[in-house]
Amino acid sequence: MVTDKELDELYRPYDTLKSIGFSTDEAKSFLAGIANAAKSQTITEPKAETERVVKYTAQRSELRRLRSKTLLLVVWGYAFAVWLYVTAMQLLHPESINWTLATWLPIRLDYVGEAAFVFSFIVATAVTMWNTRLSLKTGRNITKPNADSSA
């Protein structure tokens, strides 16, 4: 087992360089160059790579959010259109309240209208909460604190 003192005596880079033929000045400049190279190897690339990954992840997250919001809006539009269609049919043909949706489908037109109204209301609420970033559990805005606001 080698103690710290023995390790210190075993490895003395200055003495080692002098023993293999380096002059005093050459050994000092060589060791100073190694020290400078070690200091300059503190690379900021991982930080820059991390920032790029975070930016890419944020962009993908925002794109995914936009797609989800667009899908919700399209679903809301169709549900609202079905509800308007049923309402218009009942205004134009009051007897249509008991009509079935299709001859092979025993669902009445008024049930479809009610379901479309409820569904469009739920989706509209979801879109509103999505836009304002409200939490379903707390009803509060769930924005992330910025680093600037805490400093």
Q: What is the pLDDT of residues 15-39, one digit of tens each?
A: 777 778 878 788 788 777 777 766 6
Alpha carbons 112 and 127: distance in angstroms, whole number: 22
Residues of the chain falling short of pLDDT 50: 147-151
For residue 141, what are the β-bridge partners? 134
Residues 142 and 76 in one domain: yes
What is the tally of structural domains in the chain?
2
The pTM score is 0.49
Alpha carbons 91 and 85: distance in angstroms, whole number: 10
Domain with 123 in it: 64-150
Q: What is the pLDDT at residue 150?
A: 47
Strands 105-108 and 100-102: antiparallel
Q: What is the pLDDT at residue 49?
A: 56
Q: What is the pLDDT at residue 92?
A: 92
Q: What is the pLDDT at residue 132?
A: 78
DSSP 85-150: HHHHHHHH-GGGGG-EEETTEEEEHHHHHHHHHHHHHHHHHHHHHHHHTB-TTT-SB-PPPPHHHH
Residues 140 and 100 in one domain: yes
Residue 31 in domain:
yes
Q: What is the pLDDT at residue 108?
A: 86
